[in-house]
Amino acid sequence: MKVGGIVSMTTASGYSKKDTDLGARARFDRANAEGGVHGRKIDYLGAQDDGQDPARNLAAARRLVQQDEVFAVAPMSSTTFSGADFLQKQRVPTFGWGTLPSFCGPSYIYGFGGCMVPMPGGTISQTWPEGLKKVMGGSAGRSVAILANDSDAGTFAIRTYRQSFASAGFEVTFAKASVPATSVPSDWSAYTKEILRSDGGKAPDAVVSVMQTPYNIGLFTAVKRTGYDGVLTDPTDYDPGLLTKSATRKALDGVHVLLSFQPFEQDSADMTRFRQDIRKAAGKEVPLNMHMMTGYMSADLFLAIAGKAGRNLTTASFQKAADGFSDTGTMVGDRAEPKGQKESFGCGALVRLKGDTYVVSAPFTCYPPIPFS
């Protein structure tokens, strides 16, 4: 059974999700070592690099389907997913991190943690604001400013989190998708000036960045230089590899990072197995990061559904198994389909970088979602 991935291995900003491929390989390797899916081994072809380019994303999807004849695409991890319509029309089950609208609705596309960017009629996970309430001692009288890239993903993120934080009781004083998505600004002063005066002329209690690591390093460095002592938070900078550079450690020190899975610091049987699988696939001990988890759990959801489809695995039997699929107690919480194509599984944690290590600042918890309007 052939499976291939699409991952932004390289990008113009230097940001890379290449370890998503390693995570998927680690999970598929374990499945094969355990006998495969009802005796059928997974032939994982690795991931195509889309360079975070829409044209290359679609080209990668076409190649995997038309040339490689894959049964499924897992993982798909990029900030662009122009290949989504093609994969849906070709009836190719596709798995990734559901942070793009394409993971919310199409019947053949699955987010390993559910739909993170819901459409009207769906729901929003409250993991981020509820976690920050634990960090900040509640939301009453607390204000937040939210910044994202000027892109489709950024626009959806602003729309989502403006409602999410407001519903949790925070005052949202600033919410814009205004940072160029093609290159990291060299001067952040225009952004920091607007953000840090957004709460009636004073700084908000928290600055929420919905951007990738190079942008967060620039933004948080600029914000800290002003003397800001509020809460800084983002959903991307959980990567021990970042700690090898002193400038990066300094920029991200104190930042609370949102996770939609169990923190690596959590002691559980699943996390122990994850660490072992990654080490075996890498051939050595390597720092863990969230990209590995994205690949691993994308592969894990595919394998779980394929296992329930039975020995006679076809696209039709796979989709039938997905319709009504559920399991509990995974590293992303309790999973269910097709619920996950309309809403997230609603679980997550916050970790904070302190010096050269991450510590859990809000433990892995599941929260009731809210309607998205």
**Does residue 331 register a pLDDT over 90?**
yes
Residues 222 and 358 in one domain: yes
pLDDT category, 298, cuts 50, 70, 90?
Answer: very high
Residues 197 and 302 in one domain: no
- Amino acid at residue number 232: L
**Does residue 162 register a pLDDT over 80?**
yes
Pairing of strands 333-336, 326-330: antiparallel
Q: Report the CATH number that the domain containing residue 293 is assigned in CATH.
A: 3.40.50.2300
Instruction: Please give the average per-residue pLDDT across 344-368, as a whole number.
Output: 93
Question: How far is it, in rounded angstroms, from Cα 70 to Cα 85?
Answer: 16
Residue 76: HSE in the Cβ half-sphere, 13 Å Cα cutoff = 31
**Does residue 122 register a pLDDT over 90?**
no
Predicted TM-score (pTM) of the model is: 0.83
Residues 205 and 297 in one domain: no
- Helix residue spans in 288-343 (DSSP H): 290-309, 315-322
pLDDT category, 99, cuts 50, 70, 90?
Answer: confident
Q: Which domain holds residue 137?
A: 126-259+349-371
Residues 56 and 166 in one domain: no
Residues 96 and 19 in one domain: yes
How many other C-beta atoms can be found within 10 angstroms of the C-beta atom of residue 237? 27
Question: How far is it, in rounded angstroms, from Cα 321 to Cα 18?
Answer: 30
Torsion-angle region of residue 354: left (phi > 0), alpha (psi -120 to 50) or beta? Answer: beta
Residues 204 and 248 in one domain: yes
Q: What is the average pLDDT score of the chain?
A: 95
Residues 15 and 87 in one domain: yes
Residues 241 and 278 in one domain: no
Question: How far is it, in rounded angstroms, from Cα 113 to Cα 260?
Answer: 7
Task: Tell me the pLDDT tens digit for each residue of 271-292.
Answer: 999 999 999 999 999 989 989 9
Residues 357 and 301 in one domain: no
Place of tokens 């390597």: 286
Place of tokens 């690099």: 49
Query: Which tokens hold the place of 87?
Result: 């994969």
Task: Tell me the pLDDT tens digit for each residue of 259-273.
Answer: 999 999 888 899 999
| Domains: count for the chain | 2
Task: Tell me the pLDDT tens digit for each residue of 172-202.
Answer: 999 999 999 989 999 999 999 999 999 999 9
**Does residue 351 register a pLDDT over 90?**
yes
Residues 132 and 246 in one domain: yes
Instruction: Please give the average per-residue pLDDT across 287-307, as a whole number.
Output: 96
**Does residue 367 register a pLDDT over 90?**
yes
pLDDT of residue 121: 80
pLDDT of residue 348: 95
Q: Please report, for residues 114, 302, 354, the alpha-carbon distance to residue 92 in angstroms, rounded to integers and kept in the order given.
A: 18, 12, 43
Residues 159 and 252 in one domain: yes
